[in-house]
C-alpha cells in the first residue's frame, strides 16, 4: 500500500513538469548545470528522478546512467521521454535502500529530494555508501523557507498535500551536506518562487 507521500506523487505525476517549471523558471538552467558537471563520467545514479526533467539533460553525456524513483507513475513518464537512450537504466528504488553495491557509482544526483525526507541524514549516509572514494554528490534542492514568497507558496502547496518536511533557508542545506561527510566545491542559487540551492560536493 502506498504511503500518503507516495500517493501524492502517484496522483500528481502528470502535472509534475508544469508545476515544477512554474515554481522555478530557472529549473532548466539548473538541470543544465547538473549536466555540465557530469559530462564524461562513468556511472551516474539519480535518486528521485521523477519524470526525468534532470535526467533528460544529464544522461546523454555519461557512460552509464541509473535513474531511480519510488513512484512507478513518475518512471512511466520518464521511460516515455527517454526510453531509447542506450546507456539508461530505470529502476524503482528508495533513497534509503538503493540496492547497489558499496562504492559502485561515480556521481549521485539527488535533485529536489532532501526537503521531502523525514531523515535526510540517513539518505546522505546511503549516498556515501554507494559513492566511490572522492565520488561526487549533486544536490540541487528547493528551499521552501528562503524568503517570504517561498514560505507562502510552500504553505499553499502543503494544503494540497505536498509532502514538504524541511523548509531550508540560508546555509541550512550546506550545513546538512557538509555535516554528512561531504566537501562542497560549488554552491549557488537559482532564484524563483521556490529558490533552488545548487550544491556540488565530493565524498570526504
For residue range 157-166, list pLDDT tens digits in order.
999 999 999 9
Domain residue ranges of the chain, discontinuous segments joined by +: 4-203
Q: pTM for the complete prediction?
A: 0.96
**Quick one: CATH architecture of 4-203?**
3-Layer(aba) Sandwich (3.40)
Residue 82 has a pLDDT of 96
Q: What phi and psi values does residue 181 have, to the nearest 5 degrees?
A: 95, 30
- Separation between Cα atoms, residue 117 and residue 95, nearest integer Å: 9
- Quick: pLDDT tens for 49-67: 999 999 999 999 999 999 9
Indicate if the pLDDT at residue 71 is higher than 80.
yes
- Quick: pLDDT tens for 147-195: 999 999 999 999 999 999 999 999 999 999 999 999 999 999 999 999 9
Which residues are within 8 A (CB) of 52 and not within 5 positions of it... i.e. 6 or more apart? 67, 77, 78, 81, 82
Q: What phi and psi values does residue 118 have, to the nearest 5 degrees?
A: -65, -30
What residues pair up with 46 in beta bridges, in sequence order? Answer: 67, 109
Amino acid at each position: 500500500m502506498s504511503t500518503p507521500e507516495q500517493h501524492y506523487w502517484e496522483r500528481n505525476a502528470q502535472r509534475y513538469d508544469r508545476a515544477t517549471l512554474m515554481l522555478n523558471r530557472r529549473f532548466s538552467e539548473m538541470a543544465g548545470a547538473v549536466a555540465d558537471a557530469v559530462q564524461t563520467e562513468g556511472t551516474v545514479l539519480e535518486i528521485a528522478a521523477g519524470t526525468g526533467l534532470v535526467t533528460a539533460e544529464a544522461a546523454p553525456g555519461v557512460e552509464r546512467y541509473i535513474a531511480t524513483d519510488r513512484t512507478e507513475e513518475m518512471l512511466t513518464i520518464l521511460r516515455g521521454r527517454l526510453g531509447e537512450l542506450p546507456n539508461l537504466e530505470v529502476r524503482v528504488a528508495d533513497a534509503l535502500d538503493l540496492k547497489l553495491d558499496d562504492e559502485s557509482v561515480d556521481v549521485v544526483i539527488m535533485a529536489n529530494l532532501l526537503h521531502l525526507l523525514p531523515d535526510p541524514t540517513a539518505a546522505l549516509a546511503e549516498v556515501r555508501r554507494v559513492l566511490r572514494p572522492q565520488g561526487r554528490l549533486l544536490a540541487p534542492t528547493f528551499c521552501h523557507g528562503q524568503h517570504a514568497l517561498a514560505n507562502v507558496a510552500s504553505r499553499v502547496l502543503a494544503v494540497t498535500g505536498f509532502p514538504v518536511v524541511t523548509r531550508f533557508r540560508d546555509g541550512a542545506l550546506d550545513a546538512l551536506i557538509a555535516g554528512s561527510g561531504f566537501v562542497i566545491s560549488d554552491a549557488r542559487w537559482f532564484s524563483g518562487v521556490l529558490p533552488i540551492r545548487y550544491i556540488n560536493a565530493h565524498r570526504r
